[in-house]
Amino acid sequence: MSTTERVVALTGAGISTPSGIPDFRSANTGLWNFVDPMETASLWSFHAQPQRFYQWLQPLARSLVDAKPNPAHNALLQLERMGRLDAVITQNIDGLHQAAGSTQVVELHGHVRSLTCLNCGYGDSAESYLRAFLAKGELPRCPFCTSVLKPDAILFGEPLPEWEIVRAQELALRCDLMIVAGSSLKVMPAADLPALAKRRGARLIIVNMAGTAYDHLADVHL
């Protein structure tokens, strides 16, 4: 790999499972094996039953609060510091790339570092609210209108952040090498990014526990 190459990483839930955060789609252990995501993690269900949403979120929120970056996050940080990695595009909401020290992170599915009131638009840092919820079961409520605050992670039925999508597509089209780590590549538009990179002529490395629909495009598959 020459120092002139533009390298981009695309990460999914699998990169964070060693940090204690469950993924969503693995057989027998994925979160979607136990619940219908449309009934628990959609924008409509949040509006209708925020209490149920937070009950579902509780074990995930606990793992997110306690999670620390693992060697995979640290390896990508080292590549950035060496000038070998332009950016990390992530499908994860855990913020572990930033916690490790990565500075160029595109979060396609939002994050849980902050909360927003869907009624009046108030926003605040999530940490104190989530800790109170985990300790006492108190729903995070807006201090102005008392509506339940929603984490700034993208739920089913919500549009993805436009700037993040455009930035991710630009990175895919400009890179010489894309490294996919821990993603099943089943969720659009993230799943289309390796194809964009290959269309531009980039090389592709896929590192994942299970096969993906894009393995045939990979120059290296681990």
Contact 215, 199 (CB under 8 A): no
User: Which of 118, 126, 190, 119 has the alpha carbon at shortest distance from 158?
Assistant: 118
Q: Residue 36: what pLDDT?
A: 60
pTM: 0.90
Cα-Cα end-to-end distance for the chain? 18
Q: Which two tokens stand for residue 83?
A: 């000038």
Residue 56 confidence (pLDDT): 84
Fold adopted by 33-66+112-153: SIR2/SIRT2 'Small Domain' (3.30.1600)
Distance CA 13, CA 92 (A): 6
Q: Which residues contact 34 (CB under 8 A, 6 or more apart)?
A: none
Q: Which residues are catalytic?
A: 109
* DSSP label of 104: -
Asked if 1-21+70-109+159-222 and 33-66+112-153 have one fold, the answer is no
Per-residue pLDDT band at 32 (split at 50, 70, 90): very low
Give me the residue spans of the domains in the chain: 1-21+70-109+159-222, 33-66+112-153
**pLDDT (tens digit, 9 = 90+) per residue, 144-203?**
999 999 999 999 889 999 999 999 999 999 999 999 999 999 988 999 999 999 999 999
For domain 1-21+70-109+159-222, the CATH superfamily is TPP-binding domain (3.40.50.1220)
User: Could you count the other beta carbons within 10 Å of the beta carbon of residue 21?
Assistant: 19
Residue 10 pLDDT > 90, yes or no? Answer: yes
Task: For residue 221, give every residue at least 6 positions away whose Cβ sits within 8 Å of its Cβ, in sequence order, or none.
Answer: 205, 206, 215
Q: What pLDDT digit, counting tens, does each position of 87-104 carry?
A: 999 999 999 999 999 999
User: Between helices 50-66 and 127-136, what is the axis angle to 10°?
Assistant: 110
